[in-house]
Amino acid sequence: MSSTPQFGTAEYKSASGPDRCKSCQQELSGAYFRINGLLACEKCTRQLQAQTPQDTHAAYVRGILFGVGGAIVGLILYSAFGIATGIRLGYIALAVGWLVGTAIKKGSNGIGGRRYQIAAVALTYAAVSLSAIPVGIYYIVKEKNAAQISHPPDSSPASNTTLPGSASPQDDPPASGQRSTPRITSAAGALLFAGLASPFLELTEGVSGLIGLVIIFVGMRIAWKMTGRPPLEILGPFQAHAPPLPAPAV
């Protein structure tokens, strides 16, 4: 059983009963607080404050790393389903949002807040949109292989004859590394941009594209809500009414 004071469920005392701490059920005397609207003694309040995890840079970085892992798992799930079935089922975006939100909360030890929410939304969108890249590459390779099987290249001796004075393909000088690196970088950048823009590009498909975009935003909303800061409002201290002094003996 957890020793952390719990103040998640409201309870109401009877009109004639004394005020008691929601956590330890001890009658309130002296200083007391209200935690999320519930009465709490000073001891339980201090204990809760000491056990509440603090938002630190290390907790944020750990949460982001876990979130990236959740986004990668979501991207693989989304891509694998699309490749295996040939269907881009938008509802998987809801599972991706849940995966990312759960991973961030796990990594940050339950800490939430605005910067965690922004990261969760960004990672959810990136995971869903970038899944279009592996799916697209798969179908391009599949179509290319099918075309090669249907129309095999001419392997007759005449096709391999090199005219005198002409250079063979093997004689072509290799491309310099300085030229190939920018070309690869440019291609990777274009591929990344196309992937991130894919949910909006699918709007050209009409209603189905619009529904898919709405589902993605619902998945992002799930991640946003899951990584919000847990409500913890502590008001006080207040002073409980002291019990009446006993009547002096006569």
- Mean pLDDT per 10-residue segment, the chain (250 residues): 52 59 86 88 87 87 96 93 78 93 94 95 94 83 76 56 49 56 75 82 82 92 93 82 55
Q: Does residue 151 fall inside a structural domain?
A: no
Helix (H, G, I), strand (E, B) or coil at 43: helix
Clarify whether residues 110 and 84 are in a common domain. yes
What's the structural domain count of the chain?
A: 2
Q: Does residue 149 fall inside a structural domain?
A: no
Look up the domain containing 22 and give its range: 18-52
Pairing of strands 234-239, 31-35: antiparallel
- Residue 3: predicted pLDDT: 55
Q: Does residue 250 fall inside a structural domain?
A: no
Clarify whether residues 32 and 71 are in a common domain. no
- Residue 194: predicted pLDDT: 78
Clarify whether residues 30 and 111 are in a common domain. no
Clarify whether residues 31 and 120 are in a common domain. no
Clarify whether residues 47 and 71 are in a common domain. no
Clarify whether residues 44 and 87 are in a common domain. no
**Type of residue at 140:** I
Clarify whether residues 91 and 127 are in a common domain. yes
Clarify whether residues 38 and 126 are in a common domain. no
Helix (H, G, I), strand (E, B) or coil at 234: strand
Q: Which two tokens stand for residue 87?
A: 């269907």
- Residue 14: predicted pLDDT: 44
Clarify whether residues 95 and 23 are in a common domain. no
Q: Which two tokens stand for residue 37?
A: 């609207």
Clarify whether residues 42 and 72 are in a common domain. no
Q: Does residue 28 fall inside a structural domain?
A: yes
Cα–chain center distance at 144:
35
Clarify whether residues 103 and 29 are in a common domain. no
- Residue 228: predicted pLDDT: 92
Task: Please count the other Cβ atoms lying within 10 Å of the Cβ belonging to residue 165.
Answer: 5
- Show Cβ contacts of residue 119 under 8 Å, excluding neighbours closer than 6 positions: 63, 64, 67, 104, 227
Clarify whether residues 132 and 84 are in a common domain. yes
